Amino acid sequence: MGKEFAVSEEEKKNLDRHLPLIATINNQELRNKVYGLLARALRESPYRDICEVPNFTTKLMGGPDDETFVRHTRTVTNAVVAFAREFQSAYGFNIDYDVLLAGAILHDIDKLLLYERKGKIVELTATGGKKIHGQYGARMAEDAGFPEAVVNIITSHSPTAGAVPPASIEAVIVGCCDAGVFQCYRLMTGRGLWRKSESLGPGNFR
């Protein structure tokens, strides 16, 4: 699976505290890659702590919003696991939980590098103005040597222009749980359903 990235014990402990499902990835090489990509992206990001990473641009939400990458990612990942267990028990289809977990945990990894908080406002970084959410994250995962099944989950989860379709049941599950959590959050915060026609440019996406 390619290159390893050295993660300190402190970085790993912090990631485990906020995203505890990383530790449930069975394949050690894949699990270490997930720690590695998150730690490296955090080091290269404008943030010192993963809890500071925002999840939506102000433009996408039509105003200030305090949703975080950690809470969104944890909610989506927990929902994905519940969905997968139900589907597997109903139909007997063997879900690849390692691929599912890695893809769910990393589906928004590029937000660490594409979004920047300035007070109450979340804007695109210079990179965010040039790259497409989801597709940039997929590139990061590909460069880190993740399997194609994980890369596809990341690139297919967001309905950006030119996004590839989901290539597996695992990718469908992540895309649909992410959309569900996003739309529920929109309704809960009084913003109404987001519609695909509300295109705000390639960076401003869920």
Residues at the contact surface with Fe ion, assessed by CB under 5 A = 108, 158, 206
Q: Are 53 and 68 spatial neighbours (Cβ–Cβ below 8 Å)?
A: yes
Residue number, 40 or 206, with CB nearest to Fe ion: 206
Residue number, 7 or 42, with CB nearest to Fe ion: 42
Residue number, 108 or 170, with CB nearest to Fe ion: 108
- Centre a 10 Å sphere on the Cβ of residue 47 and count the other Cβ atoms it contains: 19
Residue number, 65 or 108, with CB nearest to Fe ion: 108
- What minimum distance in Å lies between the beta carbon of 101 and Fe ion? 16
- What minimum distance in Å lies between the beta carbon of 176 and Fe ion? 13
- What minimum distance in Å lies between the beta carbon of 133 and Fe ion? 6
- Alpha-carbon dihedral 181, 183, 189, 190, rounded to 10 degrees: -160
124: three-class secondary structure by DSSP: strand
- What minimum distance in Å lies between the beta carbon of 108 and Fe ion? 4
Nearest alpha-carbon partner for 40 in 140, 148, 172, 147:
140
How long a stretch of residues is the chain? 206
**Site of tokens 């969104």:** 72
Local structure of residue 99 (DSSP, 8 states): H
